[in-house]
Amino acid sequence: MGIIAVIIGGSGATGKELIDQLLERPEVERVTVLLRRPYFKSHKKLNEVIVDFNMLAQYSEHIEGDIAFSTLGTTIRDAGSQEAQWKVDHDYPLTFAEIAKQNGVNTFVLLSSMQADPNAKLFYPRMKGTLEQAIYKLNFPSYMILRPGIIDRPNTDRAGEKAAVGIINFLNKIGLFRRFRAIQTKDLAKALITASIDFPKTGEQLYESKEILNGIKR
């Protein structure tokens, strides 16, 4: 049997790239994506499940397989408040991870963020760090955390992100901050697959921006 993957965050820029690339992999047998509304074109390997993320336990039968990926995340502008963003970026992925662990999923892959730290003063890195730590306590046989720097999302409507990508690209051209260069979503999706399928490892594996940009290796 081939690899069975289950994903939340599939309609985001990185999530979409991840699903497209997984569907192209011959060793992947099925990809289940949990979504709020229909999004993807029909594919023989794809199982699209429409869910209420406030009631994920009701969809437990779909949260199973070999690898679980969480690329779910939002902005405070879209969420409307820190409380609402915490629910999307922390509570939903944690519940997803808890169900995956209960259902015997071996590998959990979390798309986190640069400088994630449960003790950070700033809200966003503290939220991401708290999530990393909570999932770690679930004791997956294999747990992979990827902390990319600035993500270059095609056609993004996030003004701050556009500006950051522009600034970092300019600085890179003049030889500055190369370790913080932006990463395109297609390359980030490839890194998620490389870490979990091409070069899997047991225990907790943490990949920072530099390792992701340079290509995750055995």
- Catalytic machinery residues: 124, 128
Four-CA torsion 138, 106, 72, 37, nearest 10 degrees: -120
Rg of the chain, C-alpha, whole Å: 17
Any residues with CB less than 8 A from the CB of 118 and at least 6 apart, and which? 126, 129, 130, 132, 133
CA 205 – CA 195 distance, rounded (Å): 9
- E strands, 13-111, are 28-35, 46-50, 67-70, 107-111
